[in-house]
Amino acid sequence: MNHLVRDAGLSGEIACDSAGTSSYHIGSPPDRRMTIAAKAQGIDLVGQARQFVRSDFEEFDLILAMDRENYEEICSVDRAGTHRDKVRLMCNFCTRHTLKEVPDPYYGGEEGFNQVIDLLMDACEGLLNYVIREKELVRR
C-alpha cells in the first residue's frame, strides 16, 4: 500500500502501517520470501513487525484484516465495539480477485507468496481508490 501511496504522490496525506495480531515476530524484518516476491513486482518492503494495539483504533481511520480470524482478533481488542466500523477485510477492496480472505502464504512455497502479492496489489489498488473517493467526499 505504501508503494502505491508513494506512486500516487499522496505520502503526505495517507499514512499506512502494518501490525500483526500475534506477538510471534515483533521487531523482525519482513519475511525474506515475501520480500523476494514483492521485489519481483518492483516493491521494496521495509519496516519491522509489531503487534496491533488498542491505540491503533484512535490512530487510524481504517483497520484492515487479512482473514476472518484476524478480523475477530482485532475486534476483540475493542471490547465495547466503539471502533468496529473501522475494521474491514482486505479482500473487500479487490476488483479482480474473488477470494474473500488473504491466504497464508507460508505453506504455499514461492508461488504462495507470488499469489498473495498479486492479491494484495489488487486489494491495495481498490483501497487507494476508495480512500481517494472518501477524501474527496469530505472536501465537498
pLDDT of residue 25: 84
pTM score of the predicted model: 0.90
Q: Give the residue extent of every domain in the chain.
A: 2-139
Distance CA 117, CA 18 (A): 15
Distance CA 42, CA 36 (A): 10
pLDDT of residue 22: 86
Closest CA to 64 of 99, 104, 18, 110: 18
pLDDT in tens, the chain (140 residues): 999 999 999 999 999 999 999 888 898 988 899 999 999 999 999 889 999 999 999 999 999 999 999 999 999 999 999 999 999 999 999 999 999 999 999 887 888 999 999 999 999 999 999 999 988 855 54
- Domain 2-139 top-level CATH class: alpha beta
End-to-end CA separation in angstroms for the chain: 25
